[in-house]
Amino acid sequence: MSDQGAAAEAPPTPRAARPRPEVPAPPAAAGARMPWEAAPAGLRAAVEARLGASVVRAVTQVGGFSPGVAARVELADGRRAFVKAVGVEANPDSPDLHRAEARISAALPAEAPVPRLLALVDLDGWVALAFEDVDGHTPAQPWRPEDLERVLTAQSELAAALDPSPVRVPAVAESFAETFGAWARGFDPEPFGPWTRAHVDRLAAHEAYWSTAAEGTALVHRDLRADNILLTADRVVFVDWPWAVLGAAWLDVVLMAPSVIMHNGEPAVDLIEAHLAARRVDPDRITAVLAAAAGFFAERCLRPAPPGLPTVRAFQRAQAHGALLWLRRRLG
């Protein structure tokens, strides 16, 4: 019997007593944004030339972790776009991430629920991307159950549309080779409570299977969270694709789950478990990937913040506790 099966046989916890997240979740992902006007003048002129009109108004968007510019802009001819731009000064890795996102976004099929890439400008160490503007909003946090169900359904449809992957990207095992495996490598589990300290060896044993468990042929977003999702009147749009990998079609659900559970606790686990069961995902594969993700968040949140990303460690800490809450449910 799988660990999920064993957990399913336990008497259900009364709903009123179900545990909530153990640490307060950060209110929102927040990068070190700069206004559109602060980007180099040459870069702004090149973006306007590619778009075919000057920017007359720009509104900075606060969600997400990326440093640099992230703004919805209005053009002189009345059109709108979303522009993101960054230079090596803000974060040395971010320009390459923008380049990767441009390559992946340009190759996604027209029917995929993603913003269309309008322009790429790579100039003097700065990279700017312009996308079609999506008239939508990010899911409320804590999540509304109806929004979570809507996003889970849309992810399943997206995975079907992107399996097999239309883009050449690294396999998930290659991409996470140096970051997953934290329980086996060892770090101080003290901040994560007595259950975690008592089960480190068990978590490492499940984690050891993660690369096989995550294998698949679908294009996986790999960084799905509320700030990378837009809800419109009639569809769900998935944005920010620089981290995409080749993996199992359900992988994004498991990797996204800690960022949902950190706000909503066990009620979110109920919805996510039901969704994965309906997709007939092997419970042991879920546990393996979840254990690896929990170790990643737990180990990373103990490190100093990287340049330009001052809030990311608090967010990872809350995700670690969300992942561990789900693991306790699965492992007992």
Average pLDDT, the chain: 90
For residue 189, pLDDT beyond 70: yes
d(CA 244, CA 315): 21
User: What proportion of the chain, given as a percentage, has pLDDT over 70?
Assistant: 89
Kindly state the average pLDDT of the residues 238-263: 97
Kindly state the average pLDDT of the residues 146-170: 97
d(CA 212, CA 215): 5
Global pTM reads: 0.88
For residue 91, pLDDT beyond 90: no
Nearest alpha carbon to residue 85 among 54, 118, 122: 122
Per-domain residue ranges of the chain:
3-11+141-331, 36-132
- Is there a contact between 103 and 45 (Cβ–Cβ < 8 Å)? no
Kindly state the average pLDDT of the residues 74-101: 93
Residue 11: pLDDT band with limits 50, 70, 90: very low
Kindly state the average pLDDT of the residues 107-135: 96
Beta bridge partners of 306: none
pLDDT, tens digit, 9 for 90 and up, residues 272-308: 999 999 999 999 999 999 999 999 999 999 999 988 7
d(CA 329, CA 332): 6
d(CA 331, CA 84): 42
d(CA 126, CA 38): 12
Burial 49-68 (b: 16+ CB within 10 A, else e): eebeeebeebeebebbbbbb
Say which amino acid occupies 323. A
DSSP assignment string, 53-74: S-EEEEEE---SS--BEEEEEE
Nearest alpha carbon to residue 302 among 290, 312, 289, 291: 312
Task: Determine the pLDDT at residue 15.
Answer: 38
d(CA 279, CA 181): 26
- Provide the 10 A C-beta neighbour count for residue 27: 9
Name which of 88-97, 99-108, 134-143 the model is least confident about: 88-97
- Is there a contact between 97 and 29 (Cβ–Cβ < 8 Å)? no
What is the token pair recorded at 239? 């944005």
d(CA 123, CA 115): 23
67 versus 28: which is more confidently predicted? Answer: 67
DSSP state of 20: -
d(CA 85, CA 102): 12
- Is there a contact between 143 and 263 (Cβ–Cβ < 8 Å)? yes
**Distance in Å from the first CA to the final CA of the chain:** 14
| Burial (CB count within 10 angstroms: exposed 0-12, middle 13-18, buried 19+), residue 114 | buried
Q: Which fold has domain 3-11+141-331?
A: Aminoglycoside 3'-phosphotransferase; Chain: A, domain 2 (3.90.1200)
Out of 3.40.50.720, 3.10.580.10, 3.40.50.460, 3.30.200.20, select the CATH number for domain 36-132: 3.30.200.20
Close Cβ partners of 327 (under 8 Å, ≥ 6 residues apart): 203, 287, 290, 291, 294
Name which of 60-69, 148-157, 247-256, 303-312 the model is least confident about: 60-69
Task: Determine the pLDDT at residue 203.
Answer: 98
